[in-house]
Amino acid sequence: MGKYGLFLEDNIGNKYERKNLYLRELALIDERIKIEKSSKEISKLKASRTEFIKNKSKNEYMLSLNELKDKEKKFLNELKKKKQEFSTTLDKEMESKVKRLTIQLYENRQKEDFYKGYINLDYRAEYNYLKAKEKSYQLPKIIEYIVNSQNEIKEALELQSKLEKEDFASKKAEVESFKKEQKDKLDKEITRIKARQKEGVISKKAEINSIAAAKRGYKNDVALKKYEIPTNANKEIVKSKKHELRMGIKRNLKILNGDIADIRRRIPVEVEKTKPIFSFLTFPIPGIGQALNKQYGKALIFLVASLFIYLVAIPYALGYGNYQGEGIAGLINLAEGGPRIYKSLIFMIEGVVAIFFVIIGAMLLIVSFKDVYSVERSTIRGIRHSNWFETKRALKQEGFPYMVSLPALLIIIFIVLVPVITTFLLSLTNMNPQNQSKFSWIGIQNYQLIATGQGLAGSVFWLIFIWTVLWTLLATSLAILIGFILALLVNNERIKGKKFFRTIYILPWAVPAFITIMFFSIMVAPGGSITVILEKLIGSRVEIKNTTLYTRSALILLQGWLGSAYVFLLTTGVLQAIPGDLYEAADIDGASSFDKTMKITIPLVLFQIAPLLVTQYTFNFNNFSVIFLFNQGGPFNPQRYGNLAGSSDLLISYIYKLAMVNQYQAIAAAITIFISLGLMFFAFLGFRNSKGFKEGRL
C-alpha cells in the first residue's frame, strides 16, 4: 500500500486536515517514517503501521464511520418509501415538473436533517449536507417561479377564451383599412424606386435593396397594427410567457447546478486508495474506468470510442470489412499471389487507412487512460471528480477548440495524409506499364535512379530539374518586377487616368489564364500573327514553338505578363497604405526619388507581401497549365529528353506524362516526393528569412 498524505486538497488548491482519523493516523505514521533516519526506528514504525491496519475493524473512528454507513443505508431505504407516500399527498392536478421538484425539495430537506449531525465525522457527509441545504434553499424559489408563471399563463389563456367570444369587428375593419392604406403606400414607393433606377439615379442593386426594405417596413407596420386587436395581443402575451417560463426554468436550474459545482470544488473527498489502479485495469476498454470513477456521462462518450476501436479499427486492420485488401497485412504483401481481380494499389490504400484507424484507436486509448488516471490521482489528493454538469461546461469552454478542430483533423487525415503517404509508398514499388495490377516493393531503387541520373526517368530528370528552377526564378522574378514597376507608376501623383490604367493592368488576372495561354500559343505558332511580324522584322523564318530557346523565352515572358497583375494588386494596396509623412520627412532630409524607393517603398512593400511572393515561386515551380497548354512541353528532342518529355517540360508536367500517359506511376511518385520535400524546404527558408516571420506576424 502507498503512503497517505497528511492533508487533502480541493479543486481550488486549498489544504484541509483529514476528518478520517484512521487515515490521519496512517498519514502521521507515514510522515514519521519519511523523516526518520534510524533504520531500527523505521522498522518499528512499519511494524506498528502493519499492526494498525490489521486492527482497522476495531478502530474507534472506523466503527463510527461504519455506523454512519449503516444508518445512511437504512435512512435512504426509508426515504424511498417516504417519497412515495409524500407523492400521494400532492394535488393530482399539480403540473408534473412542479410535482417532481416538490418531491426533490422534500427529499433534500430530509437529507439535510440527517447529514447535519455527521458533518464533523466525514467530508462525504458534509458534502451531502451542503448539497441538500443548497437545494432546500433554491428549490422553493424555483417552484414558486414556475407556479406563478403558470398561473399567469393560465389567466392569459382564460382571457383568450373570453376574448374569442367577443366580436372586434370595428378593430378588424380598422386593421384591414390600415393594411390597404399601407399597401397603396408600398406600391407607390416601389414605383418611385423603379423610376429612380430607370433615370439612373440609383443602381439595380440599390433598387432591389430599397424594395426589400420597403416590403419589410410594410410587414412590420401591419404586424404591429394587428396587435391592436385584443385576441392577437393576448396570443403574443401567452407565447412570450411560455418562452419566458421555459428559459427561466433552464436558467434557475443552471444556477443551482453551478452552486452545487462550487460546493464540490470546496469540499474534498477522502479515499483509502493510494494508487490509481482503475486507470491501469481498465486501459483496454475506454469508458469502464470513467464508470468506476462515477462519471457516467463521460463513460458513455468513451464507450463510443471503445466501439470504434473493437468494431471498426481492429477488424479493419485485420482485413475484415475491406473492399479487397487485408488490412495491414495487405499493405505488406500487396495482393501478391491473389486472384487477378485483386489490385495492389487498393491493398496499399486500404492498408494505409487501416494504419490510421489503428493510430486513432491508440490515441483514444491513451486519452481515456490519461483521463481516468488524472481523475484517480486527483481523488487520492482529495479533489472530487467533475459531475456531468461540470463536464458539459468544460466541453463547451476548454474543449470547444478541440471539438471544432476534430472535423478538420479527420478531413486532413483522409483527404491529405492518406494520399500523401500512399504516394510515398508507391515510390517504393515497381508500378509501371508491366506491373499495373500487381506490383511489389523495391525499396529506394527509384530514388537511386533519380539521384544517379540513370534509368528511364533519371537520365532526363536533372535536365528538367535545372530548367524548372531557371523557369521558376526567371518567370516569377519577371512577374514581380513588372507588377511592382506598374504599381509604382500608377501610384505616382503625376499620372492621370489611374482608373483606366489599373483596369488594363489587372486584365491578365481577370481573364481566365487558359484563354490567354491558348491565345498566345496560336499567335506564336507557324503562321501566327506574332511569328509573321517577327519574320517581316528580321527577314527570316522564326520557329518559336519548334526551337527550345525561343519556346522557353516565350513561356517566361508569357508567365511574367500573367503573374504581374496579381503582384500589381498586392503592391498597389500596400503602396496606398504607406503614410505620406515618411516621404515628406525624406524630402526634408534631401533624399532623391531613387533613395525613397530603395529605403522606404521597397522595404515596406516586401515586409507586407514577402510571404505571398514566396507562394508565387512555389506556384510557378508547379505551374502545369502554362506549359501543357502552350506547347504540350515541346519542342521534343528524343535524343536528349527521350520519348517521355519535351525540352520545355517542367517536373510537374513530366510527372503527368510519366504517371497518366505512360503508366510509370512509381517513378512519378518518387519525383513527386522529391520536389515536394524541396519545395517545403525552400518555402520554409523564404518564410523564415522574411521580416514579418521574424517579428512573429506570420
In sequence order, what DSSP letters do the residues of 545-594 get, joined into one string?
TT-HHHHHHHHHHHHHHHHHHHHHHHHHHHHHHS-HHHHHHHHHTT--HH
**Secondary structure element (H or E) that encloses residue 129, with its range:** helix 123-165
Cα 450 to Cα 175, 439, 458, 646, 666: the distances in Å are: 85, 20, 4, 18, 12
Q: Residue 123 in contact with residue 267, Cβ under 8 Å?
A: yes
The per-residue pLDDT for 698 is 47
Q: How far apart are CA 17 and CA 8, in angstroms?
A: 6
Instruction: Return the residue matching grid coordinates 520519348.
Output: 643
Q: Residue 572 in contact with residue 502, Cβ under 8 Å?
A: yes
What's the pLDDT tens digit per position in 291-344? 998 899 899 999 999 999 999 999 999 999 888 888 999 999 998 888 888 999
SS3 8: strand
Joined together, the cell numbers standing for residue 13 give 488548491
Mean pLDDT by 10 residues, the chain (698 residues): 82 90 91 86 89 91 94 95 92 89 95 94 94 95 93 89 81 88 91 88 86 91 87 88 92 93 92 89 93 90 95 94 89 87 92 95 95 93 88 82 86 92 94 90 91 79 92 94 88 77 80 88 89 86 88 93 89 80 77 78 78 84 91 87 88 91 91 88 71 53
**Secondary structure element (H or E) that encloses residue 489, with its range:** helix 455-491
Task: For the chain, state the CA radius of gyration.
Answer: 40
The per-residue pLDDT for 491 is 80
Joined together, the cell numbers standing for residue 141 give 424559489
Cα 596 to Cα 482, 589, 591, 607, 612: the distances in Å are: 19, 11, 6, 16, 23
Instruction: Return the residue matching grid coordinates 436533517.
Output: 113
432 alpha carbon, distance to own chain's centre? 39
Encode burial over 490-510: b for 16+ CB neighbours within 10 A, e otherwise: bbeeeeeeeeeebeebbebbe
Q: At what angle do helices 665-689 and 418-426 cross, to 10 degrees?
A: 120
Q: How far apart are CA 521 and CA 525, in angstroms?
A: 6
If we measure between CA atoms, which residue out of 649, 622, 653 comes closest to residue 637?
649
Length, in residues, of the chain: 698
Q: How far apart are CA 119 and CA 130, in angstroms?
A: 9
The per-residue pLDDT for 55 is 92
In sequence order, what DSSP letters do the residues of 419-464 get, joined into one string?
HHHHHHHHTTB--STTSSSS--B-TTHHHHHHHHT-HHHHHHHHHH
The per-residue pLDDT for 4 is 86
The per-residue pLDDT for 691 is 57
- Phi, psi torsion values for 125, nearest 5 degrees: -65, -40
Q: How far apart are CA 301 and CA 290, in angstroms?
A: 10
What's the pLDDT tens digit per position in 554-610? 999 999 999 998 888 888 888 877 777 777 788 777 777 777 778 787 777 877 777
